[in-house]
Amino acid sequence: KCETKQLFIINPDPRSLWKVVEPPTDAPYPKSHLDAAGLVRGDIRIAAASRRGRSHEHAGSFRDDDFYINHCQETGWSVMLVADGAGSAVNSREGSRIAVKTAGDYLLNQLSGVKGVHLKQHITAWEGSDQQATINAMLHHFKQAATLAVNSIQNEAICAEQPVKSYSTTLLATVALRTDNELFAAAFWLGDGAIGAHSPSGKVRILGNPDSGEYAGQTRFLDQSIIADPSFSGRISVGKWNDVSHLILMTDGVSDPLFETDNGLRSDEKWTRLVDELNPVLTDASIAPERLGDWLNFFSTGNHDDRTIAVLW
């Protein structure tokens, strides 16, 4: 009688190993696990969503990401920001919220009324002097927005008697204006993540460079040293195009699994693949924010951070 013994090892589905744990009810700065918002103003459609990552679900901690979207009907300017609170900073979820709200409100205010109309005239004309005036204005506005955000975070840290660094956050911001068939956009980029302007032909313009350090996960965060840095202007990009259909901002929870490397971030093919995935989600603008929140739940091995994305199309 002959017997053969074999060892079978059954590995569980990795998705089944993740727990979903609620944060302590007495934890400071509570934040919803999923947030989504959208707006439709004429031919302008914006949708944004932010979702707690599986690593935060498993650890029972709050979402550290945040976003801001708004639009001025009077002048036609749109404002979008995303922020990623540092995972190692205990109060970073509040830092990201303060940063996007403070900077976003300031930018919207500056682009409303007479100031917004005057800047729109420069962009419509777009001669050499108009371009320089626009660049100067954007440098001023983004620097002021960053300064106000830093000051607001510092004020909160003082009131809460917490270290300022415990509120560390990245900040990516854009202001955009559609004029006839053209899109103007200016971007401020601090930290990791991505900002891209994509055209139907498949071409992408990357509006800045991600900050990366010597090891994975290392980046730069918003503080006074960033504002005082002589290279601050290098964080700002300005462009006007007649072939852009989507302006997209995202935190690294989205960009890391989609693009993987800095070279991947500049791949037209990878951006086109992303837009092809998003188009069915964005078909109905009235429910696009909720569907975007669902889309953010995609599974990618080794990528379980918070995910936030904002799209103008």
With vertex at residue 30, the alpha carbon angle to CA 104 and CA 146, rounded to the nearest 5 degrees, is 25
In a domain, 187, yes or no: yes
pLDDT for the residue 142:
99
- Non-local CB neighbours of 188 within 8 Å, separated by 6+ positions: 142, 145, 146, 171, 172, 173, 174, 208, 235, 236
Closest of 244, 93, 266 to residue 174, by C-alpha: 244
**The tokens 């290279």 sit on which residue?**
231
pLDDT for the residue 1:
63
Q: Please count the structural domains in the chain.
A: 1
Sign of CA dihedral 52, 277, 12, 217: negative
pLDDT for the residue 215:
47
- Non-local CB neighbours of 199 within 8 Å, separated by 6+ positions: 241, 243, 244, 245
pLDDT for the residue 12:
63
Please report, rounded to a whole number, the percentage of residues in the chain having pLDDT higher than 70. Answer: 95
In a domain, 85, yes or no: yes
27-60 pLDDT per residue, tens: 999 999 999 999 999 999 999 999 999 999 999 9
Mean pLDDT over residues 220-234, rounded?
Answer: 97
In a domain, 23, yes or no: no
127 pLDDT more than 50: yes
Mean pLDDT over residues 271-289, rounded?
Answer: 98
Q: How far apart are CA 111 and CA 71, in angstroms?
A: 10
pLDDT for the residue 36:
99
Token pair listed for 148: 């106000």
182-205 pLDDT per residue, tens: 999 999 999 999 999 999 999 999
- Non-local CB neighbours of 38 within 8 Å, separated by 6+ positions: 45, 46, 47, 48, 69, 285, 286, 288, 289
In a domain, 1, yes or no: no
In a domain, 145, yes or no: yes
pLDDT for the residue 218:
67
The CATH number that applies at residue 222 is 3.60.40.10
In a domain, 5, yes or no: no
Phi-psi region at 178: left, alpha or beta (left = phi > 0; alpha = psi -120 to 50):
beta
Tell me how far the alpha carbon of residue 10 is from its chain's centroid. 39
Least confident of 10-24, 191-205, 296-310: 10-24
Domain containing residue 233: 35-312
In a domain, 280, yes or no: yes
Q: What's the pTM?
A: 0.93
The number of residues in the chain equals 313
Q: How far apart are CA 108 and CA 100, in angstroms?
A: 12
In a domain, 8, yes or no: no
